[in-house]
Amino acid sequence: MIIYRTPEDDTTELTATMPRNGINGSAVPTMEASGMEGTYSPRGNTHPNTAPARVKRLTKPMSSDPRKFRWNRKHFALQQGKIRTSGWRFLSQGFFTVLCIVLGWQFIQFVDAAYTTTAGPLPTRPPGVEGFLPISGLMGALDWIYQGSLNTIHPAATILFLLFVALAVVFRKSFCGWICPVGLVSETLARVGRWVFGKNVKPWPWLDFILRGLKYFILGFFVWAIIGMGAEGLNAFITSPYNKVSDIKMLEFFRDLSRVGGIVILVLAAGSVVINGFWCRYMCPYGALMGLVGWFSPVKVRRDDSKCIDCKLCDKACPAKLIVSTRDTITKVECIGCHDCVSSCPAPGALMFGTKKRSLKPRTIAIAIVIALVAATGSARLFGVWQNNISDDEIRFHVARMESEEYGHPGR
């Protein structure tokens, strides 16, 4: 008897035995994996002069304990049970989360100064906060087409919106899996749920299908409303007093959170503990748009059936709960391109993320995303379309009257 260890996962043992089931009694190797049902034999690799062994395909995922966390230095990944998340993805998510915190702090200083001073220059307003105005970014992109020039109210929102759309074309729904701080929080809560309860819950398929449709309904409503405004109406909205302070109104919403708002956030957080990606999976219209755009990407998760051992760890690792283990190519719009299924796969070469000819490693994706951000924002600064043209005195004028009816939502 020979003991093997898989090259990708040092926690799984394979026991090879030599049953007498070949031609003329020849021995043909089979392998049994501890913690797995059935036996495994590499496809197309039978012993010379023997008949192929009868192989019972694995029908059950390898056992794992989701309550155990460890940092896998060999694979540079966080491992929870047997599920691995690349450290490069963590670095990317962490970088953008820290960046958002810094931008948020700078924006708070800017807004507070606008409230408390009557003259003189205000602290620099960070344009990057407009990344939290995706609807304004979509409006700005359409207005750019209508008017032939980029609006000067929230230009950064449009630049960032187009950047994230471009990244979706290249790396699928990478905004959700590699950039969005809400996605990082949601995934962390899901990990807590697996640590506490042993697993996350997936609703019945029919209910899951209906709930996933909500975000597309919300996206469709916004697109319908924006297109229905027409060129003149859209431009009037963009230049309205409300839109000029929409970023400040968003900040004040969270700083003066109502009881209803607090309850909604708690429900979403609790739901994310139980269901992986509760908000992202069911209600985020931005993610819905990125998924639809990402469907056109040539980059996909691809499976080599000849190397697959049917352990089904990829199904278990997928945050979007997609079935990877039986598909040659993952084309579903829910795929966030996170690389978790590939990182968790114990069979070398069975899964890859990339084009038909080239595999993309997590390090490549993380570095490419950061480079794209630097290039996009740097170019916008170079061409003078990163900062808005609202003066400090005008900002003071608006915030002093922000509670008036004039600054209510124009569509109200």
- Position 411 scores a pLDDT of 56
Q: What are phi and psi of 107, to 5 degrees?
A: -70, -40
Give the pLDDT of the chain (412 residues) as one tens digit per residue: 333 344 444 444 343 444 444 444 444 444 444 344 344 444 444 444 444 444 344 444 444 677 788 999 999 999 999 999 999 999 999 999 999 999 999 999 999 999 999 999 999 999 999 999 999 999 999 999 999 999 999 999 999 999 999 999 999 999 999 999 999 999 999 999 999 998 999 899 999 999 999 999 999 999 999 999 999 999 999 999 999 999 999 999 999 999 999 999 999 999 999 999 999 999 999 999 999 999 999 999 999 999 999 999 999 999 999 999 999 999 999 999 999 999 999 999 999 999 999 999 999 999 999 999 999 999 999 999 999 999 999 999 999 999 888 887 665 5
73: Cβ–Cβ under 8 A, 6 or more apart, which residues? none
Q: Which residues of 316-329 are buried (b: 16+ CB within 10 A; e: fewer)?
A: bbbbbbbebbebee
- Position 5 scores a pLDDT of 41
Residues 67, 134: Cα–Cα separation, whole Å: 36
- Position 232 scores a pLDDT of 96
Record the tokens describing residue 250, joined without a space: 């968003």
Contact 345, 356 (CB under 8 A): no
Angle at 180 between CA 178 and CA 181, to 5 degrees: 115
Contact 22, 6 (CB under 8 A): no
pTM over cut 0.85:
no
Residues 299, 339: Cα–Cα separation, whole Å: 12
Contact 4, 14 (CB under 8 A): yes
Residues 338, 330: Cα–Cα separation, whole Å: 13
